[in-house]
Amino acid sequence: MWAFTTRSPRLDLQAADVLTSAARVLKGYNDELAARAQSQADRLRKEANQLLEQQRARTNAPAMTNDAWLFGDASIVRNVQVAIDSIPMKDEAYRQRIRPLVEKFAAYIKSFDLQNPYGVPIGLGNWTGVNMVLNFGIAVNYAHINFPDIVSKDEVYRVSNWLYGCHPYHNYSFVAVVGAARPKQVFYGNNRADFSFIPGNVAPGLLFRQPDHFENYDDWPFLWGQNEGTIAGNTQYIIFGSSFKNIVTQH
């Protein structure tokens, strides 16, 4: 059997991290499998770094440095989340060191007020944007929890408003069984796409059609780019929803 797929060195690095984590857990329980996992992690990491070097050589892009996460809007959401996740393992000096990154992120949050009426990053590609919006919301929530003087509580409502109905095309919630007007009732997923839903499913959301049309059909499940419930999206929603609930009820 052959499988044709995209070779992405950045995905390879993520896979290498997962394999290394697995190797640590398996050590002492299944040493052979732990060694295999670590061996594959080392191979992937080496190959990925070689591919990244080749890409940088072709594009004349600068090499990554230890402080590279302080720069660049393209990955600021991920960088903020990683930096904040590290706070419990660091000292106060580290917290102060990442304040400039959080301040930059606060400006990034407000930049969406100039881009669209909803204040969130709307996906404009051939896959709808709820995953990106949820990642954004998770980072906003934890930035507020850890740096409330920089990211105010008001900012955490941006993504909940979008998810639960404040978006183009219709006012249905993208989350099954949760929503003020009406939750979506048609999803594509393990229910075999037979015009029903699984509670907790989160739809990918609005698909952008050139030149200026957003859509999210609620009467045809087979448009998986708009209606597929995925483990990734549902997991993101659990993380977002839990942090959002804690902010709303405890602050």
List the CATH code of the domain at 68-250. Answer: 1.50.10.10
Q: Could you say which DSSP state residue 167 is in? A: S
Average of per-residue pLDDT across 165-194: 84
Return the structure tokens found at 215.
């859509």
Those residues whose C-beta lies under 8 Å from the C-beta of residue 137, and which sit 6 or more positions away, are 120, 156, 158, 159, 160, 163, 240, 244
Which of 56-60, 94-98, 173-177, 194-198 tops mean pLDDT?
94-98
Domain boundaries, the chain: 1-64, 68-250
| DSSP for the chain, written as a single string | --------HHHHHHHHHHHHHHHHHHTTT-HHHHHHHHHHHHHHHHHHHHHHHHHHHHHTPPPP-TTGGGS-GGGHHHHHHHHHHTGGGS-HHHHHHHHHHHHHHHHHHHHGGGT-TT-S----SSS-SHHHHHHHHHHHHHHHHH-TTTS-GGGGHHHHHHHTT-SSS--EESBTTB-SSEE---BBSTTTTSSB--TT-B---PEEETTTEEE--SS-TT-HHHHB--HHHHHHHHHHHHHHHHHHHH-
Section 200-219 average pLDDT? 88
In the predicted model, is pLDDT for residue 3 greater than 70? no
pLDDT higher for 94 or 75? 94
What are the tens digits of pLDDT across the range 4-25?
Answer: 566 788 889 889 988 999 999 9
Which position has the higher pLDDT, 11 or 107? 107
Query: Does 181 score more than 90 pLDDT?
Result: no
More confident residue, 40 or 131: 40
Q: What is the pLDDT of residue 165?
A: 92
Residue type, 110: K
Computed over every residue of the chain, the mean pLDDT equals: 86
Residue 223 has pLDDT above 90, yes or no: no
Tell me the average pLDDT across 129-144: 93
**By percentage, how much of the chain surpasses pLDDT 90?**
53
Highest mean pLDDT among 44-53, 75-84, 154-163: 154-163
| pLDDT value of position 60 | 59
